[in-house]
Chain A
């Protein structure tokens, strides 16, 4: 009986200590605000770089697949030269971006390329957006290639131009096919922004780390940060699955 009492009281003590630590880490000095500010920064960077990544990715994917499918049939020699040049640029971009770590790209962007900029959010959004664009490009390209050639030919046979066929017929189907992979890329991107601290940007990870260094307590702030990422990812995954279901209405 004594042993059981001792056990319960030790659990009670543990909870009290936990509560004290929680108060110490987040309530004292309003340190929870750091997390909220950090969360806001993380979401901002993610949003901007997702948009930039999609824009770059779709353009690069179109350049690459247009080149691969049509270079032999384009009869205008100037057009062919332009397309070959753009394709070469796209390939260099893909190689460099996918061949170097994102942290290095981020630091290069901050300390070398955009030295004169004050906005760290801009720097981080550009670095992560340009990085993500390379992965999105290959995802979208695989989507375009997954569409049956007949869809394209049917569009062209009706008199639609290459661009009209791409926009009205190919891209929407390609997008639907790659949505799960694309969602995966965005989840990776969201978590990748956690290296923003390397350029002294206070995103959610950095905020947690600041609390840790200020309080000398690692458990509470790091677990909190991990939980926040987890909730975000679960939320976005749910959003994407709703979108997927909506888009699926054309195949029964």
Chain B
């Protein structure tokens, strides 16, 4: 069992694609209200790790406890747990065949979380919060990248999740649009949302993160609070990595 304020507990997580072992044993705990930022070079397994948390990738070995339930168990209905884990993708992945409003309300209504009117009202409120209320009836193709990503965040929030997972949310954006998305994420963090963020934005990690994890070669090489993480990196691989990225 996990202690009360632990929301996700990962034990011995391994993932292989064929003969390629991408995750070689990950152990970590994420507490309620924490903003965990995962950084690392390409191919280090950080996105795979994140996608294992809601089983978009099936773990090869190990367990993931979410709210005290082992969601890697065969008998678990993963859909029920995914309702409580919002996810934001690098490529936004808004539903191209639906309007912005429908993108946001589709899942809550379909899954019986809210009545249609209630969901519409909540969607408009959330859109107002991210400054996109006027886009409710537009289609995704009419929005800029930054707008799409803010809608994607709202879509995940509309399910009232307990955790938000971000998979490189700003990597596909024009530099000008990175700020508006990070701002929304920052507000979200300040409101107390538990977040796991895979990113290359070191500034965000420093400013908003409550813990930073450095992954490389399929393992967690180092984790620490942002101040010590960036000021006193211990592992030589992390020192090398930080020396190469602009902060």
A153 within 8 A of partner (CB): yes
> In this complex, which of A156, A157, A173 has the most chain B Cβ atoms within 10 angstroms of its Cβ?
A157
Stretch at the interface among B75-83, B198-206, B207-215, B224-232: B75-83
Bin the interface of chain A by size: 20 to 34
Chain B count of residues within 8 A CB distance of the other chain: 31
Contacts of A154 in B (CB 8 A): 87, 89, 93-95, 152
CB of B159 within 8 A of chain A? yes
| Chain A nearest Cβ from B73, distance in angstroms | 10
**Known contacts A150-B91, A250-B96; is-contact A159 B56 (Cβ 8 Å):** no
- B139 on the interface (CB 8 Å rule)? yes
Q: Which residues of A are found within 8 Å of B139, using beta-carbon distances? A: 249-252
Q: Would you call A153 and B56 a contact (CB within 8 A)?
A: yes
What total of A-B pairs shows CB separation below 8 Å?
81
Tell yes or no: B74 within 8 A of A by CB: yes
Q: Mark B94-123, 1 if CB is under 8 A from A, else 0.
A: 111110000000110011000000000000
Query: Taking A75-B74, A164-B110, A250-B139 as contacts, is the C-beta distance between A159 and B159 under 8 angstroms?
Result: yes
Tell me whether A159 and B82 are in contact (CB under 8 A).
yes
CB distance from A251 to the nearest CB of B (A): 5
Name the one of A75, A157, A249 contacting B82, with C-beta atoms under 8 angstroms: A157
Chain B residues within an 8 Å CB radius of A5: none
Q: State whether the Cβ of A148 lies closer than 8 Å to any Cβ in chain B.
A: yes
**Given A153-B56, A252-B141, also A160-B93 (CB < 8 A):** no
In the complex, B35 has a CB within 8 A of chain A = no
Give the shortest distance, in Å, between B185 (CB) and chain A (any CB). Answer: 17
Q: Which residues of chain B from 135 to 157 have a CB within 8 Å of any chain A CB?
A: 139, 141-142, 152, 155-156
Residue contact B79 to A169, C-beta cutoff 8 Å:
no
Instruction: Tell whether, in the assembled complex, residue A157 and residue B79 are in contact, meaning their CB atoms are under 8 Å apart.
Output: no
Residues of A within 8 A of B98 (CB): 169, 250
A72 — nearest CB in chain B belongs to which residue? B58
**A157 touching B142 in the complex, CB below 8 Å, given contacts A75-B74, A251-B96:** no
- Does B106 lie within 8 Å of A157, measured CB to CB? no
> A173 to chain B: which residues have CB within 8 Å?
96-97
Asked whether, in the complex, the Cβ of A153 is within 8 Å of the Cβ of B89, the reply is: yes
Q: Is A169's CB under 8 angstroms from B159's CB? A: no
**Cβ of B170 < 8 Å from any Cβ of A?**
no
Inter-chain contact B142/A172, CB cutoff 8 Å: no
B54 within 8 A of partner (CB): yes
Interface mask (A153-177 → B, CB under 8 Å = 1, otherwise 0):
1111111110010001100110010
With CB as the reference atom, state the residue of chain B lying closest to A161: B79
The answer for the CA separation of A252 and B155 in the assembled complex, in Å, is 22
A13 interface hit (Cβ, 8 Å): no
B93 and A159 contacting across the interface, CB-CB below 8 Å: no
The reply to whether B95 and A155 form a contact with Cβ atoms under 8 Å apart is: yes
The answer to whether B93 and A168 touch across the interface, beta carbons within 8 angstroms, is no
Q: Which residue of the partner chain B has the closest CB to A74?
A: B58
Known: A150-B93, A151-B96, A153-B93. A158 touches B74 (CB 8 A): no
In the complex, what distance in Å separates the CA atom of A75 from the CA atom of B71? 13
Bound together, the chains give a CA A153 to CA B89 distance in angstroms of: 9
B2 to chain A, nearest CB (A): 22
Residue-wise interface mask of B (155-197) relative to A, using a CB-CB cutoff of 8 A (1 in contact, 0 not): 1100100000000000000000000000000000000000000
Q: Mark B56-88, 1 if CB is under 8 A from A, else 0.
A: 101000000000000000100001101101110
Q: A158 to B161, alpha carbons, bound, how many Å?
A: 9
- The answer on a CB contact under 8 Å between B58 and A158 is no
Residue of A nearest to B84 (CB): A159
User: Could you tell me the distance between the alpha carbons of A164 and B107 in the complex, rounded to whole angstroms?
Assistant: 9
- Please, how many angstroms separate the alpha-carbon atoms of A178 and B159 in the complex? 32
Are A159 and B58 in contact, CB atoms less than 8 angstroms apart?
no
Among A74-100, those with CB < 8 Å from B are 75-76
Q: A251 contacts which chain B residues (CB < 8 A)?
A: 96, 139, 141
Q: Which residue of B lies closest to A157 (CB)?
A: B87
- Selected A-B contacts with CB under 8 Å, 9 pairs: A148-B93, A150-B92, A151-B95, A151-B96, A157-B82, A157-B87, A168-B110, A172-B97, A251-B96
Q: Which residues of A contact B (CB under 8 A)?
A: 73, 75-76, 148, 150-151, 153-161, 164, 168-169, 172-173, 176, 249-252
